Structure formats: structure tokens, C-alpha cells
Amino acid sequence: MLNLKKIIKIVAKSIKVKEKNISLTSKIGDFEDWDSLGHLKILSEIDKITKGKASLIGNLAQQNSVSNIYKVLKKNKLSK
């Protein structure tokens, strides 16, 4: 199961930045590679780890920050 630390790791890897630069408040637009394509990379990576369950969450793409992604995954019991 995912947790906040893992989510931050996924975000950092997907948008090619160091983990230490990502926090709970980091959001789309904060980094050069966190654009709509970067956002999709993050979601696809989360989807892989959750074995396709994340792609079924209808409002996941609208979650534009680490904090919101984490909250929605937690609400859907895909993160603790």
C-alpha cells in the first residue's frame, strides 16, 4: 500500500526532481516537468503500483497537489 513518503518518491521520479524538493504543498506548475504530461506520468505510476485501481478514481486527475493526491488516495483506501 502507498503512503505519503512513497507518493513523494513517485512524484519526484516522474517529474525528475530530487525528493527533498517535494513537499506536501508541491503542486502542478511548481516544476518545469510538472505540466499536464508530467501529471499524467505521476498518475500512471501510481496506477501501476495500485494495480489499475487508481485509474478508476473519477476525480484523481483533478488533484493538482501532493496533498490532494494523497487525500484522495487515502479516501479510496489506496494509501495509508
Partner 1 sequence: MNIFKENLTSKILQQKSSSIINKYKKEIDILEIGCGDGNITSFVINNRKIDHNFYLSDISISAVNAAKKKIKYKKCKFKTGKWLDPWKDKKFDIIISDVSSINDFIAIKSPWYKGVVCNSGADGLRNIEKIILNIHINLKKNGKFILPMISLSDEKKLIKLLKKNFSNVSFTKKIIWPIPSFFHKDKAKYLKLKRDTKINFQEKFGIFLAYTYSATCYGTK
Binding site for partner 1 (CB under 8 A): 36-37, 39-40, 43-44, 47, 54-55, 57-62
Cβ proximity to partner 1: between 1 and 37 the closer is 37
In the complex, minimum distance from the CB of residue 24 to partner 1, in angstroms, rounded to a whole number: 20
In the complex, minimum distance from the CB of residue 20 to partner 1, in angstroms, rounded to a whole number: 27
Whole-number Å distance between alpha carbons of 65 and 74: 14
41 touches 13 (CB < 8 A): no
Cβ proximity to partner 1: between 10 and 54 the closer is 54
12 touches 21 (CB < 8 A): yes
